[in-house]
A = this chain, B = another copy of it.
Amino acid sequence: MTGLSNYFRTRAALVTGTVDAIVEREMSEVGVLAPTSAEDLVDALCGLIDYTNVANRTVTAARLVLFLEASHDPALREALARGRAAMEASAVSAFHRLGARDPQTAATAVMACAEGLILHRIARHDTADPRPTFELVVRAAVS
């Protein structure tokens, strides 16, 4: 039983460390979102889609595999929740700066959009321009 529990501690530490490293990498590339206009934010979001699916494509594919693994792994879900909280705080703060009426809903919507676009670029090799989608959602949130 000691061996088994050591194994799980090591595995949990490994996946947690991996998730933390992936989040740090994405956050440091995109930076803290500090847009001065809706156009600025749309540019940053298009940059995020490009980064995650080109330069960082292998890591993004690994992240998505870990996401599905998390569906039946509570320790992994905890690690994902920390990463999510950091990214969500950055998005909520960006919409707050831009004067959105409901920064939380705006952040949730734009993050869901980004995640859906990222998944389909990895899975289906989708190449549609993400800009019109982000323009629609960001303008709706900020207008």
Distance in angstroms from A112 CB to nearest chain B CB is: 3
Contact (Cβ within 8 A) B117 A112 = yes
Bitwise interface map of A from 65 to 98 toward B, beta carbon under 8 Å scored 1, else 0? 1011011000001001100100000000000000
* Chain B CB within 8 A of A40 CB: no
Partner of A112, one of B68, B102, B112: B112
Main secondary structure, interface of A, reads helix
Contact (Cβ within 8 A) A132 B108 = yes
Contacts A71-B122, A84-B124: A133 and B116 contacting too (C-beta < 8 A)? no
Bitwise interface map of A from 50 to 70 toward B, beta carbon under 8 Å scored 1, else 0? 000000000001001101101
Contacts A116-B115, A140-B140, A141-B136: A123 and B61 contacting too (C-beta < 8 A)? no
CA distance A64 to B116 in the complex (A): 11
**What 6 additional pairs, Cβ within 8 angstroms, besides A68-B123, A77-B125, A109-B136?**
A61-B71, A105-B133, A112-B116, A113-B116, A119-B119, A139-B140
